[in-house]
């Protein structure tokens, strides 16, 4: 193998063929393996969260009826379901998907680096994630049941067992959150250091693909936001266990303080969830349009602006908390302002596709789906940004609709786009296009059938987190809508079956993947599928940006970043890229 | 990496080339600074919560007033000495670093040992202080007797122990890391060209001192 | 290539003396209770920040590092201020 030793992080790569199975695949330090480990973990938790969603929709659509082959869902169980569905989807399915899978897999490869700056820290980060997920799952089975105070865990309800009836479950919830935070922090340190310090020669910051830009900025957000929730969670845990009084009003604590701390983290958190999705979609849209991304620089500045503004909007989650109206107004203004860079990105995606030589491969379909659904989610956000409107729709299904449009229609669809796109590189095999398209169309249609009506429910006054809407007379006319939504969700769940079949059969029986099946420009497509340990035999040199599609200077409609334009005595792009010949 | 320095500003990549210029400090140093940025936010959460809770609480136990009259239960004089000791340990730490920058192995070892001793003493005195306070009834949840005298005692106890406890934990972990580095120093594993470990642990140690400087003022003196 | 700090070296003992003196002033002020409270808080915080800046600049060598590292290290500070000040506004009448 390569004789050149990498001298960063004190690691040497001389003799890796001899590593045991455990060192290579269980306690792996290779970023690609860790990325794939995160992928399997995320998909598992996606399944768990999805099953919880089914149970929630069962109760909402058919309140009080026994679950098939089971019992009726009690109100306490319902609270736990709603809490754990949110917690698992946000922290154990989506966060690891964007920050664990794509950050890990793509950053070194797309930058021309052999691995992350701190491979062993990377491994630690994954196993801490596993432990946090284990604690969260364990909390489902302890006495008293799982946490039931919502994924937002507002005290006093979450702060004392006497209020919620849940003791150990809530404490384990908090512990798993703290462990998750630690895992996330370690990951961020790695990603930030790697992006700053380990780019191949020629890979200036403004030649980085947007996926990497967004992952980089996201890592900075996570670095600075996660410690706040860690501090808050510790204080909540102490309130629950050792009699402190941070959030319990009886002895001077302030419940509202939790809300401020939680959302000071929580808002950057949602940008952590969406920015990588946007970055991935940018890469895939450019590829599928065979055109450079429209307005690359403004895309970068938009990402940075969103990240900056994201720190000063947290109060829009608290318009109903009784906070000082002056404060509320400032949050309203900053929240509306943040729509601007987001809109710039949407227009730039449209500009990218406009008059492109559109290739509707499966990743492209998901990316286009992302743009449409994220736009809807963003538009509903503008309604919510207005404090006076929010007085009516806060804590209703309007919010639930918004959340799911941006997280499912947004982050999850972008994640599917990314999985279909990079699966060939990860596993050396192609996924089935046919099954991929079936998966996409079924999901897209059923998703909208399921979640669009929730805007109507919310405007009709349907609150969040209630177990039985029919207990309120004014909600009974909306019940058919609830049933319609529930049935759509059940079918949406089933619509994921083509993906499961596709993913697992392709792993073993998929067609061998060529070096660069999507004819893309990224550096990851210049190395074998899957790439060897160390990624690049020698570090590539980068000559231009990542979106040189349909360049008039080149015969092919793409130009890899490491392909010099005019040949020269330098090495051409590696075998199979065929640029500029 | 046997003979090559790990403290390069230019990061070596496979194939004998250097990375595109980034922060222009070696990876471990950059990583430590990035980590310290997150630690600033962590202590911001804890100390910020204290400031907000106290601001909203009204009455508070002030320094310079006897305990019976509702003054602070904290031992300011002892902690002032402790604070000074931690500052001294920062001096010895930076002297250790300066020593190895000149290749002075003896100086490195001497000053590292002093730092370990001073750091461990800080933790020891803090534990002693905790024991005294608990004896008085000052705990995360105060005794009923103390709560009758000290205004907002439970809130004070909650915040005090959480902030200083986490700081103390950070110091303890720092002492462990320092011992590790000291052992390596005694084994001659650092040189003028290669002493990144000393610098990186030093950065962490100074940070811990810096947090204490803020904590001491905000919690004990104000 | 050795790091930048080889070129300039602060007088560590001088900084040490400054830190010691500032601490003494702080403790003294805390005991002298006839200053207006808000004024006292302001002075104590300023002294503490001064000490913290000394440690950061001279012991952590930030003064001798590139601007981009200084920006990285100080990035959390505006966020900390926003959080605390923003929430304290809750109490504004």
Q: Which residues of B touch A122 (CB under 8 A)?
A: none
Among the partner-chain residues B4, B14, B141, the one whose CB lies closest to the CB of A2 is B14
**A264: nearest CA partner in chain B:** B45
**The pLDDT value given to residue C4:** 44
| Range with the poorest average pLDDT among A83-87, A265-269, B10-14, B189-193 | B10-14
**The pLDDT value given to residue B7:** 84
**pLDDT tens track for A10-46:** 334 444 556 788 888 889 999 999 999 999 999 999 9
**Calpha distance C20→C54 (Å, rounded):** 12
Task: Kindly state whether B58 is in contact with chain C, defined as any CB-CB distance less than 8 angstroms.
Answer: no
What's the whole-number mean pLDDT along residues A362-390? 97
pLDDT band at A210 (very low <50, low <70, confident <90, very high): very high
**Calpha distance A297→A206 (Å, rounded):** 8
**pLDDT tens track for C54-66:** 999 999 999 999 9
**The pLDDT value given to residue A74:** 95
Burial class (CB in 10 A: 0-12, 13-18, 19+), B52: buried
The C residues from 34 to 63 touching B (CB cutoff 8 Å) are: 40-41, 44-45, 47-49, 51-52, 55-56, 58-60
The A residues from 234 to 273 touching C (CB cutoff 8 Å) are: 256-257, 260, 264
What's the whole-number mean pLDDT along residues C71-77? 96
- Cβ–Cβ gap B155/A251 under 8 Å: yes
* CB within 8 Å of A192: residues ≥ 6 apart: A216, A219, A220, A223, B34
- Cβ–Cβ gap B27/A117 under 8 Å: yes
Instruction: Sort residue A380 into left (φ over 0), alpha (ψ -120 to 50) or beta.
Output: alpha
**The pLDDT value given to residue A17:** 55
| 3-state secondary structure (DSSP) of residue A433 | helix
**The pLDDT value given to residue A398:** 98
Neighbouring chains of C at 3+ CB pairs within 8 Å?
A, B
Q: Is the confidence at residue A528, as pLDDT, over 90? A: yes
Q: Is the confidence at residue C21, as pLDDT, over 50? A: yes
Cα-to-chain-centroid distance, residue B76:
18
- Cβ–Cβ gap C30/B222 under 8 Å: yes
SS3 track for A530-544? CCCCCCCCCCCCCCC
**C68: nearest CA partner in chain A:** A196
- Cβ–Cβ gap C91/B55 under 8 Å: yes
Residue A238 token pair: 């102490």
Q: Which residues of C touch B30 (CB under 8 A)?
A: 69
Q: What percentage of chain A exceeds 70 in pLDDT? A: 94
Q: Is the confidence at residue A464, as pLDDT, over 90? A: yes
Is the Cα dihedral A302, A304, A306, A309 positive or negative?
Answer: negative
pLDDT band at C92 (very low <50, low <70, confident <90, very high): low
- Cβ–Cβ gap A114/B166 under 8 Å: no
The CA distances from residue A425 to A50, A437, B194, in Å, are 27, 20, 38
**The pLDDT value given to residue A18:** 63
pLDDT in tens, chain B (222 residues): 333 447 888 899 999 899 999 999 999 999 999 999 999 999 999 999 999 999 999 899 999 889 999 899 999 999 999 999 999 999 999 999 999 999 999 999 999 999 999 999 999 999 999 999 999 999 999 999 999 999 999 999 999 999 999 999 999 999 999 999 999 999 999 999 999 999 999 999 999 999 999 999 999 999
What's the whole-number mean pLDDT along residues A196-200? 97
Q: Is the confidence at residue C8, as pLDDT, over 80? A: no
| 3-state secondary structure (DSSP) of residue A206 | helix
Cα angle A382, A284, A190; round to 5: 85
What's the whole-number mean pLDDT along residues A203-210? 97
**Calpha distance A569→A559 (Å, rounded):** 18
The CA distances from residue A418 to A39, A49, B145, in Å, are 11, 20, 62
- Cβ–Cβ gap C79/A257 under 8 Å: no
Q: Which residues of B touch C20 (CB under 8 A)?
A: 84, 87
Q: Is the confidence at residue A182, as pLDDT, over 90? A: yes
- Cβ–Cβ gap B1/A232 under 8 Å: no
**The pLDDT value given to residue A576:** 40
**B4: nearest CA partner in chain C:** C1
**B33: nearest CA partner in chain C:** C73
| 3-state secondary structure (DSSP) of residue B62 | strand
- Cβ–Cβ gap A244/B42 under 8 Å: no
**The pLDDT value given to residue C9:** 80
**Calpha distance A544→A436 (Å, rounded):** 32
Q: Is the confidence at residue A222, as pLDDT, over 80? A: yes
- Residue C41 parent element (H or E): helix C37-54
- Cβ–Cβ gap B53/A252 under 8 Å: yes
* CB within 8 Å of A262: residues ≥ 6 apart: A152, A153, A154, A229, A232
Q: What percentage of chain A exceeds 90 in pLDDT? A: 89
- Cβ–Cβ gap A261/B39 under 8 Å: no
Residue B76 token pair: 């300011």
Q: Which residues of B touch C6 (CB under 8 A)?
A: 101
Q: Is the confidence at residue A388, as pLDDT, over 60? A: yes
* Neighbour count for residue B69 (Cβ, 10 Å): 9
pTM as predicted: 0.94
Neighbouring chains of A at 3+ CB pairs within 8 Å?
B, C
A93 half-sphere exposure, CB direction, 13 A CA radius: 25
- Cβ–Cβ gap C83/A260 under 8 Å: yes
Task: Kindly state whether A228 is in contact with chain C, defined as any CB-CB distance less than 8 angstroms.
Answer: yes
The CA distances from residue A247 to A173, A237, A258, B153, in Å, are 17, 11, 7, 15
**C88: nearest CA partner in chain B:** B52
Closest CA to A252 of B87, B52, B173: B52
**The pLDDT value given to residue A446:** 98
Q: Which residues of A touch C85 (CB under 8 A)?
A: none
Q: Which residue has the tokens 């200084």?
A: C70
**The pLDDT value given to residue B8:** 81
**pLDDT tens track for A291-340:** 999 999 999 999 999 999 999 999 999 999 988 888 899 999 999 999 99
CB A451 within 8 A of CB A376: no
| 3-state secondary structure (DSSP) of residue B12 | strand
**The pLDDT value given to residue A12:** 40
- Cβ–Cβ gap B44/C80 under 8 Å: yes
**A243: nearest CA partner in chain B:** B141
What's the whole-number mean pLDDT along residues A255-263? 96
- Cβ–Cβ gap A260/C76 under 8 Å: no
What's the whole-number mean pLDDT along residues A442-457? 98
Determine the distance in angstroms separating the CA of A75 from the nearest CA of chain C, rounded to an integer: 34
């Amino acid at each position: 193998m390569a004789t050149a030793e990498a001298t960063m992080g004190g690691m040497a790569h001389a003799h890796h063929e001899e590593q045991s199975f455990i060192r290579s695949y269980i306690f792996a330090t290779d970023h690609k393996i860790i990325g794939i480990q995160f992928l399997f973990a995320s998909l598992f938790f996606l399944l768990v969260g999805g099953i919880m969603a089914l149970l929630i929709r069962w109760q909402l659509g058919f309140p009080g009826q026994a679950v098939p082959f089971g019992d009726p869902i009690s109100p306490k169980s319902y609270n736990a379901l709603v809490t754990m569905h949110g917690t698992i989807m946000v922290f154990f399915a989506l966060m690891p998907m964007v920050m664990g899978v794509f950050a890990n897999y793509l950053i070194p490869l797309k930058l021309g680096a052999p691995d992350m700056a701190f491979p062993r820290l990377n491994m630690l980060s994954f196993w801490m994630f596993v432990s946090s997920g284990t604690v969260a799952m364990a909390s489902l089975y302890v006495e008293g049941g799982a946490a039931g105070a919502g994924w937002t865990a507002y005290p006093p309800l979450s702060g004392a067992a006497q209020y919620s009836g849940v003791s150990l479950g809530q404490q384990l919830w908090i512990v798993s959150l703290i462990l998750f935070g630690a895992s996330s922090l370690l990951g961020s340190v790695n990603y930030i250091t790697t992006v700053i310090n380990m780019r191949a020669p020629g890979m200036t910051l403004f030649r980085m693909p947007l996926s990497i830009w967004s992952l980089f900025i996201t890592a900075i957000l996570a670095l600075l936001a996660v410690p706040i929730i860690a501090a808050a969670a510790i204080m909540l845990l102490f309130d629950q266990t050792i009699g402190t009084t941070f959030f319990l009003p009886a002895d001077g604590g302030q419940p509202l303080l939790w809300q401020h701390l939680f959302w000071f983290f929580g808002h950057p958190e949602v940008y952590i969830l969406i920015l990588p999705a946007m970055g991935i979609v940018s890469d895939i849209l450019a590829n599928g349009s065979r055109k450079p991304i429209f307005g690359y620089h403004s895309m970068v500045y938009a990402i940075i602006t969103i990240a900056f503004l994201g720190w000063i909007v947290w109060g829009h989650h608290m318009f109903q908390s009784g906070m000082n109206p002056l404060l509320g107004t400032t949050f309203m203004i900053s929240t509306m302002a943040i729509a601007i860079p987001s809109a710039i990105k949407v227009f730039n995606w449209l500009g990218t596709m406009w008059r492109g030589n559109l290739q509707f491969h499966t990743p492209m379909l998901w990316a286009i789906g992302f743009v449409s659904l994220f736009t809807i989610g963003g538009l509903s956000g503008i309604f919510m940004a207005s404090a006076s409107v929010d007085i009516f729709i806060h804590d209703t299904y309007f919010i639930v609709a918004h959340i799911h449009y941006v997280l499912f229609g947004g982050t999850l669809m972008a994640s599917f786009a990314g999985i279909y796109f990079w699966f060939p590189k990860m596993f050396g095999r192609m996924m089935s296009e046919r099954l991929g398209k079936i998966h996409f169309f079924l999901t897209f249609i059923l998703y909208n059938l399921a979640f669009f009506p929730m805007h109507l429910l919310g405007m009709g006054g349907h609150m969040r987190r209630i177990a039985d809407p029919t207990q309120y007379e004014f909600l009974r006319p909306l019940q058919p809508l609830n049933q319609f939504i529930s049935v759509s969700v059940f079918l949406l769940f089933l619509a994921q079956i083509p993906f499961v079949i596709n993913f697992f059969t392709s792993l073993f029986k998929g067609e061998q993947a060529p070096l660069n099946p999507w004819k893309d420009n990224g550096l990851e497509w210049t190395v074998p599928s899957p790439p060897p340990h160390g990624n690049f035999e020698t570090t590539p040199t980068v000559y231009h940006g990542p979106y040189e599609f349909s360049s008039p200077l080149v015969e092919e409609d793409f130009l890899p970043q490491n392909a010099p334009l005019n040949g020269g005595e330098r090495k051409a792009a590696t075998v199979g890229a065929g640029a500029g010949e | 990496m046997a003979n090559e320095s790990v403290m390069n500003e230019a990061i070596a990549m496979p194939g004998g080339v250097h990375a595109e210029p980034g922060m222009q400090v070696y990876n471990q140093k950059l990583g430590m600074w990035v980590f310290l940025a997150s630690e600033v936010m962590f202590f911001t959460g804890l100390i910020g919560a204290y400031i907000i809770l106290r601001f909203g609480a009204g009455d508070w136990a002030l320094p310079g007033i006897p305990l019976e009259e509702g003054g602070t239960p904290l031992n300011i004089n002892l902690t002032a000495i402790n604070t000074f000791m931690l500052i001294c340990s920062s001096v010895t730490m930076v002297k250790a670093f300066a020593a190895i920058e000149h290749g002075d192995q003896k100086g490195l070892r001497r000053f590292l040992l002093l730092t370990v001793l001073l750091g461990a003493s800080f933790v020891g005195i803090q534990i002693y202080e905790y024991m005294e306070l608990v004896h008085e009834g000052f705990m995360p949840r105060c005794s009923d007797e103390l709560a009758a005298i000290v205004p907002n005692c439970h809130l004070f106890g909650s915040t005090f122990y959480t902030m200083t406890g986490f700081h103390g934990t950070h110091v303890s972990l720092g002492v462990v890391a320092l011992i590790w580095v000291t052992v390596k120093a005694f084994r001659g594993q650092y040189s003028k060209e290669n002493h990144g470990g000393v610098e990186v642990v030093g950065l962490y140690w100074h940070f811990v001192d810096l947090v204490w400087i803020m904590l001491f003022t905000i919690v004990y003196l104000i | 290539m050795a790091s930048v700090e080889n070129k300039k070296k602060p007088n560590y003992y001088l900084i040490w003396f400054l830190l010691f003196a500032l601490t003494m002033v702080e403790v003294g002020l805390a005991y002298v209770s006839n200053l207006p409270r808000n004024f006292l808080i302001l002075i104590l915080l300023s002294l503490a920040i001064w000490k913290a800046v000394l440690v950061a600049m001279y012991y952590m060598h930030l003064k001798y590092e590139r601007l981009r590292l200084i920006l990285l290290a100080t990035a959390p500070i505006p966020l900390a201020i926003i959080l605390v000040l923003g929430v304290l506004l809750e109490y504004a009448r």
